[in-house]
């Protein structure tokens, strides 16, 4: 699928755009729908049926919700839509995980199903669920045209790896949108920046971390392991934010305004801030559809109303928010993958968020330098948990990272990786910072600077093409989620 999606972006996309711009407005959604289905079918043709079934259920439930004022029936329709969506996601993504758990607990020998994971199912499932919930809440009008709704869900720029685009964000644009040259130009430049992030930085740095994980840990050193996980931190940011940039850029070229998905998360000074800047569409989804409903639920409100003292209310509020945070980040971890390490990773972040909320807020606000190093340490350690699914390898990596296991602090292996990948890691770390937002407008608008910028984009684009054609290592990390 990685190769086929790359082929689509570089060879099929220009063809789609030509037809899209030449044909009248009433045909644009049809072009988008056909292109999106071809894009998905290129790698996973059989799963088009699954996506069409899922979208039809949500479309139908949306119509039923709008036509019915009986609250019990409306809740029933919403429950059916959510259960069907979660059942499909659970079956394809978590069935083998559940079987492994049952086998371990009860000493069984149930055969694994080994079902292929439909690409992007976690993303489009959350999109369709958000639509049903919003229609139930009457915060959006239900879509009356199934094919327009299917176009929304299957939009190829964001279908396989996000960002999670809510129906309310682009509802009006689905019906009518203007194609403006400035938006096409801006979108194309945004697409190129995402391409450079992905191909020139993420891919090249990612090779090093893969080599380190595949090595005999006895031949490594403490500094090699730290260099490896720092490289992964740079890789995953540029991989995922690069894809988001490409999706947002293509969306803009097509006349859509997708929300931002990243806002320089590595400059954060608290874990809470980090999650407001990282994978924004997922974080806001869990806030709006899990955390806030939990905190505002009747049982929680009733429990808090029983408590009269000021201290009691404070403690009850902290406990409630902590439970909500645990629930959200347990689900966040589980959303990312059907393995224990993802659950541990989610609970790991929940722990720091709870500690921050109760004890560390004021301290972190007052000590900017300390808070920044604290965040990066927590995030980098979290990536060890996130990136290694094998518990034995995970344990060995942690031991080596902190000097246990008898490996040296530094050796020739570290020097080799540093000399070959150090400059690329450094460049990646620099571009993780919002350096271009600090450039004065006079420099940005300078004619000579713009010419040089255009030449640089052309050169980087040609280099990217060469890397894509010649390099076999071209994964999108978030395709598997």
Q: How far apart are CA 353 and CA 360, in angstroms?
A: 9
Condensed to tens digits (0 to 9), the pLDDT of residues 282-320 reads 999 999 999 999 988 877 777 767 776 777 777 878 889
pLDDT band at residue 432 under the 50/70/90 scheme: very high
Structure tokens at 112: 């694994």
- Contact between 124 and 222 under an 8 Å Cβ cutoff? The reply is no
- Which residue, chain included where needed, has tokens 């808070």? 371
Provide DSSP, 367-419: -HHHHHHHHHHHHHHHHHHHH---HHHHHHHHHHHTT-SS--SS-HHHHHHHH
Q: How far apart are CA 455 and CA 206, in angstroms?
A: 27
Judged by average pLDDT, the poorest of 176-190, 349-363, 370-384, 428-442 is: 428-442
Condensed to tens digits (0 to 9), the pLDDT of residues 401-426 reads 998 888 999 999 999 999 999 999 99
**DSSP 8-state class, residue 201:** I
CA dihedral 424, 430, 434, 440 (to 10 degrees): -110
Q: Which of 154, 128, 148 is nearest to 62 (CA)?
A: 128
Q: Which residues contact 423 (CB under 8 A, 6 or more apart)?
A: none
Share of the chain above pLDDT 90, in %: 62
pLDDT value at residue 2: 43
Q: How far apart are CA 122 and CA 159, in angstroms?
A: 10
Structure tokens at 228: 């490896």
pLDDT value at residue 435: 82
- The residue ranges of every structural domain in the chain are 2-177, 183-480
Condensed to tens digits (0 to 9), the pLDDT of residues 369-389 reads 999 999 999 999 999 999 999
Condensed to tens digits (0 to 9), the pLDDT of residues 92-145 reads 999 999 999 999 999 988 999 988 888 888 999 999 999 999 999 999 999 999
Does the pLDDT value for residue 472 go beyond 70? no
Condensed to tens digits (0 to 9), the pLDDT of residues 90-100 reads 999 999 999 99
Cα dist. 185→117, 191, 250, 268 in Å?
36, 10, 10, 31
Does the pLDDT value for residue 83 go beyond 70? yes
3-state secondary structure of 38: helix
Condensed to tens digits (0 to 9), the pLDDT of residues 26-59 reads 899 999 999 888 888 876 788 888 888 889 999 9
Angle value at C-alpha 294, between 288 and 296, nearest 5 degrees: 90
Structure tokens at 245: 């940039």
Does the pLDDT value for residue 160 go beyond 50? yes
Condensed to tens digits (0 to 9), the pLDDT of residues 208-242 reads 999 999 998 888 999 999 999 999 999 999 999 99
pLDDT value at residue 378: 98
**DSSP 8-state class, residue 162:** -
Is the Cα dihedral 269, 273, 274, 277 positive or negative?
A: negative
Q: Which residues contact 73 (CB under 8 A, 6 or more apart)?
A: 64
Does the pLDDT value for residue 6 go beyond 60? no
The predicted model gives 80-86 an average pLDDT of 93
pLDDT band at residue 182 under the 50/70/90 scheme: confident
Does the pLDDT value for residue 462 go beyond 90? no
- Contact between 394 and 341 under an 8 Å Cβ cutoff? The reply is yes
Condensed to tens digits (0 to 9), the pLDDT of residues 343-367 reads 999 999 999 999 999 999 889 999 9
| Catalytic residue list contains 336 | yes
């Amino acid at each position: 699928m990685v190769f086929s999606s790359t082929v689509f972006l570089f060879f099929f996309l220009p063809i789609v755009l030509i037809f899209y711009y030449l044909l009248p407005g009433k045909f644009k959604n049809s072009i988008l729908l056909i292109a999106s289905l071809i894009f998905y079918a290129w790698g996973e043709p059989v799963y088009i049926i699954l996506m069409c079934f899922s979208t039809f259920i949500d479309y139908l439930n949306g119509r039923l919700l709008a036509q019915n004022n009986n609250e019990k029936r409306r809740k029933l329709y919403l429950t059916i839509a959510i259960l069907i969506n979660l059942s499909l996601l659970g079956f394809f993504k978590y069935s083998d995980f559940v079987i492994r758990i049952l086998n371990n607990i009860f000493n069984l020998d149930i055969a694994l199903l080994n079902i292929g994971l439909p690409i992007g199912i976690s993303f489009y499932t959350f999109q369709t669920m958000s639509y049903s919930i919003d229609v139930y809440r009457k915060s959006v009008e239900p879509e009356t045209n199934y094919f327009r709704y299917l176009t929304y869900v299957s939009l190829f720029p964001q279908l396989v790896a996000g960002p999670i685009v809510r129906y309310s964000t682009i509802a009006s644009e689905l019906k009518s949108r203007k194609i403006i040259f400035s938006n096409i130009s801006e979108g194309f430049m945004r697409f190129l920046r995402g391409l450079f992030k992905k191909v020139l930085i993420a891919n090249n740095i990612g090779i090093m971390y893969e080599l380190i994980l595949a090595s005999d840990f006895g031949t490594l050193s403490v500094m090699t392991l730290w260099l490896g996980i720092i490289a992964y931190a740079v890789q995953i940011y540029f991989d995922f934010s690069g894809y988001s940039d490409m999706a947002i850029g293509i969306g803009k070229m097509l006349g859509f305004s997708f929300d931002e998905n990243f806002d320089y998360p590595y400059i954060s000074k608290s874990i809470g801030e980090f999650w407001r800047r990282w994978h924004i569409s997922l974080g806001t989804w869990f806030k709006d559809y899990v955390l806030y409903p939990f905190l505002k639920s009747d049982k929680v409100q009733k429990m808090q109303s029983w408590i009269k003292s000021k201290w009691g209310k404070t403690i009850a509020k902290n406990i409630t928010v902590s439970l909500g945070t645990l629930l959200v980040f347990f689900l966040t971890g589980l959303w990312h993958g059907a393995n224990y390490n993802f659950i541990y990773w989610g609970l790991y972040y929940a722990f720091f968020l709870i500690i921050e909320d109760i004890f560390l807020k004021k301290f972190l606000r007052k000590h900017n330098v300390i808070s920044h190093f604290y965040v990066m340490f927590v995030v980098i350690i979290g990536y060890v948990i996130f990136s290694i699914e094998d518990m034995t390898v995970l344990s060995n990596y942690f031991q080596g990272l902190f000097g246990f296991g008898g490996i040296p602090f530094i050796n020739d292996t570290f020097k080799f990786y540093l000399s070959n990948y150090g400059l690329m890691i450094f460049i990646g770390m620099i571009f993780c910072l919002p350096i271009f937002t600090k450039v004065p407008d006079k420099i940005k608008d300078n004619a000579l600077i713009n010419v040089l910028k255009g030449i640089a984009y052309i050169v980087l684009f040609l280099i990217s093409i060469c890397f894509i054609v010649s390099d076999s290592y071209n994964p999108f990390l978030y395709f598997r989620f």
